[in-house]
Structure 1
Amino acid sequence: MKKIAIVAALSSLALLLPMASADAGLWSAYKNGQLAPKEADSAYRVETLGLDVRVYEFTPESNEDVTCVLTFTDATSTMQCFDKPSN
């Protein structure tokens, strides 16, 4: 009986540990599963010395007059939004 309780506790711990991590693991997949996928207006990689910068440009649904740019490296991410030029 004691062995069953230990196995059950370890199994529960094994399931909960990925949820506690900050990376895009099972917990992130679960939390983001209800969100509708969107395509970026543009996505590309900028090769720089020592870094692989990934860039995503998109128009937010809540404000069609704005463009946002997301940049990701292995260490950081940044986002900046700005008004689209008027034609």
Structure 2
Amino acid sequence: MSSAKCARQAAQEGEPILGVVEAVAEREGTDPTQLPPLQETIDADAVATLLDGADDSVAVEFTYLGHTVVVRGDGTFSVDPLGDCRPSVET
């Protein structure tokens, strides 16, 4: 697996929910308008309310189109391929 595929999405400031859709579209090689609405996966308004005024110690993690998304209270986010970038755990 290439390291570029598993590289963390650079944290971005501004409107994180819009940034999430744009980052996933870039990873999928498509236009953001061609993706299913994020609202079908998570209540974006509830996420915004939850994170409003929070710092980076508060985060919401969810899955969208095969990607693990983490949005933090400071407005930054990361998008990683689902399962591909997490270390395996030996039991």
User: Which structure shows the bigger proportion of residues in helix conformation?
Assistant: 2
TM-score using structure 1 length: 0.28
TM-score using structure 2 length: 0.27
User: Which structure shows the bigger proportion of residues in strand conformation?
Assistant: 1
**Greater relative contact order structure (CA < 8 Å, 6+ sep):** 2
